[in-house]
Chains A and B, each alone.
Chain A
Amino acid sequence: MWLKIEKRPEYSKGMVYATPLIALLLTVLSSIILFEVLGVNPMEALYQFFVAPLDSTYGFSELFVKATPLILCAIGLSVGFRANVWNIGAEGQLLMGAIFGSSLFIYYPETESVFLLPVMILMGAVGGAAWAAIPAVLKTRFNANEILTSLMLVYVAGLILSFLIHGSWRDPAGFNFPESQTFSDSADMPILIAGTRMHLGTLLALLAVLGTWIMMARTLIGFQVKVIGEAPRAGGYAGFSQKKIIWFSLLFSGALAGIAGISEVSGPIDQVVPVISPGYGFTAIIVAFLGRLHPAGIFFAGLLMALTYLGGETAQINLGLPLAVTGVFQGMVLFFLLASDVLIHYRFRWNFSTKAVS
């Protein structure tokens, strides 16, 4: 008797939806072991992680605050991933969006206009797209691997932010702390529900979910992205340009990551600081895959990953667990997801026959 892995004749549609749940189940099981080893009651820890953060309206609104940048980045990345364009530098594009977007306020802090915020958001999108354009040029012109170039540019973006915030962008009245002055009202993201931090960015994220859903399901450009990703030669046969799709998907994901960046600084943070994102751009990769690269899936996966951020903080405060548990959690989700994705194209079969060739 042995276990056999055999290819399915046609990929399993059921498994496409089942594997994220399998991955979550395995993550929870493994984390029970992890908590046990750390000497914490697993049930208590799971409660603190997944339930406690949501026991108030405020807690619930915080979930959306954290999910907003994750969803924005992941939606953009998912389009690239569908086209086999592996932009993993959303974190850098997010930072450049924040820098570009806030530059308007930093250099013209006195501006009082209803147009200030929309233009800042637009600049944020431009900043993120411009940063993603670098891997696009390198890929289409020199065939450089976008995984490497986009990742390396994350660190460059981080250093540019550091350079600005420790230098000319520092608030003159800020006692030499590396922080900009706080944003004025007209540069702030409007709050959606009074008493919470839920802001306009959440609405933008929802718009991105719906818009991308329609784009991927019902428009020619979305169809082109899918064809180029799955069968580039068939794309060439249909007359779709691979270079155009590389450009499109990088600019699109860069722009959304840039919007995520500007929504963070003019939303919950309210000023430019040295650390804008706790790795939203990287976690968004997990969100994109956990959401099956589908906008609706990404919406829920974004909420779930946001919960791990909140849960990590709660667990740190109430149980004294290290914050790194959040990262371990997120890593396990991706790890188990990639492992169980094998079930989409393959199935296990127990073989009970032991007869061999006579």
Chain B
Amino acid sequence: MSETGGGAPQLELRGITKAYPGCLANDHIDLKIMPGEIHALLGENGAGKSTLVKIIYGVLAADEGDILWEGVPVTIPNPHGARKIGIGMVFQHFSLFEAMTVSENIALGLPGRQNMRSLEKQIIDVSKNYGLPLDPQRQVHTLSVGEKQRIEIVRCLLQNPKLLIMDEPTSVLTPQEAEKMFETLRRLATEGVSILYISHKLDEIRALCHKATILRGGKFINECDPTKETAKTLAEMMIGSSLRAPAHHKAVKGGDVRLKVRNLTVPATTEFGISLKDISFNVKSGEVFGIAGVAGNGQIELLSALSGETRSQAADAVTLDGEYIGWLSPNERRDLGLAFVPEDRLGHGSVPEMTLSENAFLSGYNRMKLISAGFINNISSARYATDIVRKFDVRTPGIFHTANSLSGGNLQKFIVGREILQKPDVIIVAHPTWGVDAGAAAFIHQTLIDLAEKGAAVLVISQDLDELFAISNRIAVISEGRLSAAKSLKEITVEEIGLLMGGTHGTGAPKEASHVA
């Protein structure tokens, strides 16, 4: 029955169908994963990947179709049942208790009582083996997004699953760490563990996976061998039309400096926070400036110092178009033409329980003139929100739905759109496409580049190197609160950046390193 010869598939799905009111999320999907196979699940936002994975993990029940586990039909009533038969899952969105330590969080996810001391030892062992450094004693709220994801991965691995579902696991890892994790996954695969790997990084899928199932619009499109495809053909199957790489603009030479940061030093606000040390860089008109780095190395602090949520000690630490803005509030900076997109889109970039119209007003009320005669102008707010939804292809039933009803990618498009439509002179974007599908990512990238070409300065803080290489003119790396010297894209290599991310500053880059375009 299968080309790998004998044995039943670890997991087989037959005709899985799941309808939500007004949308068919999964339309007769078939999927087969052999033991020891790394199987990619590819698809845009809204393609039905999450729904399918939730059905496998017992979060949702399918309307139709069968699930076969080791050849036997099963019903998976809930995640507990899934874990019991040997399915583990690392979610893209974390379910962690912020006020508890790493080991307490892991203990809570495991069945029965735990001996904390031996659990901590296990955590350290597993995290060392798999290249996921973790301190079991740390409180979760002091960790960065990347570190939080490590907890989820380790929590899964501790249960020795037979099928491991990974939802975009590498988006927060350095290339070296990701490579190390691939080795781990490959080793797990040779030990017979099946892996269902969800990612939008096509190169990664080609390097790692044995099989790929492509979904589009809730339908099964194709099953293929990703090693025999190119990134381009995979992407085309995924989004159904020819993918356009962002049209890269010419390197800008003579642009004026719009955003200038000089010796910015900000002491850490929490016990485990990162303090910014003597950061200097400038971003010119027409330029996309990328800041790479592993999560938790001062990105959040830097963004907050630039947005004005933390004020600088010296007024001239941050300069916008020649004006000192270090002491100004976020509002005052916005009025001068600065726009920003924070890392956390729900709860920071938007108010979850407020409508899109209100969320449009949130950052746009001054620049878009949404207040008339002292009163909020609901009509122009709604018009502004509609504009964002239309121009940035935000999939929503309407602007009077709340922000948390949107999928992550759509909310990101909304927030990026909201900032861009304010015609900023300088825009600072953190993780512009985290969790966003390839089609939307290309669109966001193109929009940022277009904005730069119109004379704005664009600063992108991201952990996704492919993204930075695709859109930046110059790149610097942040590590432990220090920023490396900026280098133009032509002078820097992935390996070099990887080393800088690991904390080696400036010197000792390997000579024979290959260039990445």
Contact = CB atoms under 8 A, between A and B. Distances in A.
B307 interface: yes
A358 B348 CA distance: 44
Contacts of B81: 356-357
Given A10-B401, A237-B307, A239-B331, A357 B85 contact: yes
Nearest to A226: B354
A44 interface: no
Contacts of B352: 230-231
Chain A CB within 10 A, most for which of B72, B76, B329, B351 = B351
Contacts of B84: 357
B375 A219 contact: yes
A101 to B, nearest CB: 30
Nearest to B61: A353
B376 A231 contact: no
Contacts of A220: 365, 371, 376
A226 B353 CA distance: 10
Interface stretch (B224-232, B246-254, B356-364): B356-364
Contact of A238 (B73, B74, B330, B401): B330
Interface in B328-365: 329-332, 334, 340, 342, 344, 347-354, 358, 361-363, 365
Contacts of A11: 353, 402
A143 to B, nearest CB: 14
Contacts of B378: 218
Contacts of B402: 10-11
B354 A10 contact: no
Contacts of B374: 219
B143 to A, nearest CB: 17
A237 B376 contact: no
B354 A227 contact: yes
B351 A234 contact: yes
Contact of B350 (A223, A234, A355, A358): A234
A278 interface: no
A217 B353 CA distance: 15
Given A231-B352, A238-B362, A353 B77 contact: yes
A234 to B, nearest CB: 5
Interface hub of B72, B330, B365, B402 (most chain A Cβ within 10 A): B330
B331 A358 contact: no
How large, as a class, is the contact surface on chain A? 20 to 34
B347 A234 contact: yes
A215 to B, nearest CB: 10
Nearest to A238: B362
A243 interface: no
A14 interface: no
A219 B376 contact: yes
A127 to B, nearest CB: 29
A234 B375 contact: no
Nearest to B341: A237
B263 interface: no
B404 interface: yes
Nearest to B309: A236
A236 B349 CA distance: 10
B114 interface: no
Contacts of A217: 376
B144 interface: no
B405 interface: yes
B405 A10 contact: yes
A233 interface: yes
A234 B329 CA distance: 14
B492 to A, nearest CB: 31
Contact of A233 (B77, B308, B348): B348
A234 B348 CA distance: 4
A139 B184 CA distance: 50
Interface string A1-41: 00000000111000000000000000000000000000000
Given A10-B402, A358-B74, A230 B308 contact: no
Interface in B295-351: 307-309, 329-332, 334, 340, 342, 344, 347-351
Interface in B348-405: 348-354, 358, 361-363, 365, 371, 374-376, 378, 401-402, 404-405
Given A220-B371, A237-B349, A227 B362 contact: yes
Contacts of B330: 236-239
Contacts of B375: 218-219
22 contacts: A223-B361, A227-B354, A230-B353, A231-B348, A231-B353, A233-B344, A233-B347, A234-B348, A234-B351, A234-B362, A236-B309, A236-B330, A237-B340, A237-B348, A237-B349, A238-B330, A239-B334, A357-B76, A357-B77, A357-B81, A358-B73, A358-B74
Interface of B: 61, 72-77, 81, 84-85, 307-309, 329-332, 334, 340, 342, 344, 347-354, 358, 361-363, 365, 371, 374-376, 378, 401-402, 404-405
Given A10-B402, A227-B354, A230-B351, 4 more contacts: A231-B352, A237-B342, A237-B348, A357-B84
